[in-house]
Amino acid sequence: MANALMRSLDWAQRTADGSAGGGPAKMIARLFARRPRVGIDAARVPDGVRVYVIGDIHGCLDLLKRLHGQIIADARATGGNRLRCIIVYLGDYVDRGLHSREVLDLLIGPALPGFDPVFLRGNHEQQFLDFFDNPGSGGVWFKYGGDATVYSYGVRIPETIEPALRFIHVRDRLAELVPRSHIEFLARTQLYCEIGDYAFVHAGIRPEWPMERQVAADLMWIRDDFLDYGRPLERVVVHGHSVSEVPEVREHRIGIDTGACYGNALTCLVLEGNTRRFLSTSDTARPMARAG
In-domain check, residue 27: no
Average pLDDT over residues 26-42: 67
Taking the CA atoms of residue 47, residue 231, residue 239 and residue 258 in that order, the dihedral angle to the nearest 10 degrees is -110
In-domain check, residue 31: no
Domain that holds residue 177: 44-291
Please classify residue 207 by burial: count the beta carbons closer than 10 Å to its beta carbon, then call 0-12 exposed, 13-18 middle and 19+ buried.
middle
In contact, 99 and 60? CB cutoff 8 Å: yes
> What pLDDT is attached to residue 151?
97
Q: Which of 35-44, 93-102, 153-162 has the highest mean pLDDT?
A: 93-102
pLDDT digits (tens, 9 = 90+) for 6-16: 444 343 334 33
With pLDDT > 70 as the criterion, what percentage of the chain qualifies? 84
141-144's contacts with Cβ under 8 Å and 24+ in sequence apart are 141/95, 144/95, 144/96
Spatial neighbors of 227 by CB under 8 A, at least 6 apart, are 204, 242, 253, 255
Number of domains, the chain: 1
Average pLDDT over residues 61-81: 97
Beta bridge partners of 200: 193, 238
In contact, 202 and 191? CB cutoff 8 Å: yes
Band of residue 36 on the pLDDT scale cut at 50, 70, 90: confident
Q: In what order do the strands lie in the sheet with 253-255?
A: 6-9, 192-195, 198-200, 236-239, 253-255, 248-249, 290-291
In-domain check, residue 4: no
> What pLDDT is attached to residue 7?
43
Higher-scoring residue by pLDDT: 222, 159: 222
pLDDT at 19 over 80: no
What's the DSSP call for residue 120?
Answer: B
- The Cβ of residue 242 has, within 10 Å, a number of other Cβ atoms equal to 17
In-domain check, residue 6: no
In-domain check, residue 69: yes
> What pLDDT is attached to residue 32?
46
In-domain check, residue 187: yes
DSSP-assigned letters across all residues of 170-189: HHHHHHHHS-HHHHHHHHH-
pLDDT digits (tens, 9 = 90+) for 238-265: 999 999 999 999 999 999 999 999 999 9
What CATH number did the domain enclosing 103 receive? 3.60.21.10
**pTM greater than 0.75 (yes/no):** yes
Higher-scoring residue by pLDDT: 21, 41: 41
Higher-scoring residue by pLDDT: 47, 213: 47
Look over the chain and give the mean of its residue pLDDT values, rounded to a whole number: 88
Write the Ramachandran bin of 36: left for phi over 0, alpha for psi from -120 to 50, otherwise beta: beta
The pair phi, psi for residue 45, each rounded to 5°, is -105, 160
In contact, 217 and 16? CB cutoff 8 Å: yes
> What pLDDT is attached to residue 283?
54
